[in-house]
Amino acid sequence: MLLITAEGDTKNLTVNLLNLVIPLSMEIPVFTVDAFTNVPFKGNPAAVCLIENELDDELYQSISAEMNLSETAFITRQTSMDFSSGARFGLRWFSPKTEVPLCGHATLASAAVLFYIKNNVNPVVVFETVSGELYVRQNGDSIIMDFPLNNPKPQDQNEVKELLRAAVGDLPIQDVCYSETTKKLMVRLADTCDRSELMSLKPKAEALLRHETTGKIRSLIVTLKGAQNAETGHDFYSRVFAPWVGVPEDPVTGSAHSVLAGYWSEKLGKKKMLAYQCSSRGGELRLEIRDDGRLDISGQAQIILQGTLKF
């Protein structure tokens, strides 16, 4: 029993300790990182949390909803002693609505925190994820991620014609492909289209959700061949819409390029490509398909915010 006496009051108040709820506080370092850009407020922002031990999935999801970015990454120490000297870490990604199986920009952001903030001493760090081991290394002012190559297969347009109309309207379509591994539908606009038409697309999330309810598709990629004579030399452009996971448009998407790289490599006859994702923020990715069938995705990152989650 606990005896509490109010000041100026002769009456004692007795409280049963068993009825007291004492909250346990938690503090988690958190960072916001703009990925696939060399300037702040461009590219794709991701939240990165450093976790000493695994949390409940419900808590991961609550934190991600609070961050309200396309993805929040959670790095766990696993068997590493700390974030500065360890070479192997756990990594999970959550959108505001659900866990995602693969996320490029949040992986790039996670590596940036380890390399630039924690000054990790290793030239290569390994992330253990549901998509396998992802090796990440520094290369000058860029970070290179070793990703799986998810080549898409042709998709019958008639099976998704209403979804296509909701996404691109009356613009002519050259190819439609689907990656079963990533659940991404890729739509290539005809070469008669230009970048301005791609950038002008404004598909409504409600319409996309209405025309795809099977759970087969988690995001929709719209892509266009690059202007080969352009000064930028971009091999192809893209935009990515993912309302099925709570992201109306993903600004710059590394996992989408694990699908796009294989497709465009075959069409262009190139293993090294420069890609640009044409969201309002915009971002650039360097891609190289290696001889072992894996994909190197290279980009830069800017850490713009660091703090502590307290709850």
Q: Which residues are catalytic?
A: 71
Strands 88-94 and 124-129: parallel
User: How far is Cα 82 from Cα 8, in angstroms, rounded to an integer?
Assistant: 52
Tokens of 179: 């990656």
Report which residue type is found at 131: S
Tokens of 250: 């993903």
Contacts of 86 (CB under 8 A, 6+ apart): 77, 78, 79, 80, 120, 122, 125
305: part of which helix (H) or strand (E)?
strand 301-310
Strands 142-147 and 295-299: antiparallel
39: part of which helix (H) or strand (E)?
none
Contacts of 270 (CB under 8 A, 6+ apart): 235, 264
Cα 120 to its chain centre, rounded Å, is: 22
What is the distance between the terminal CA atoms of the chain, rounded to a whole angstrom?
A: 28
DSSP designation for 3: E
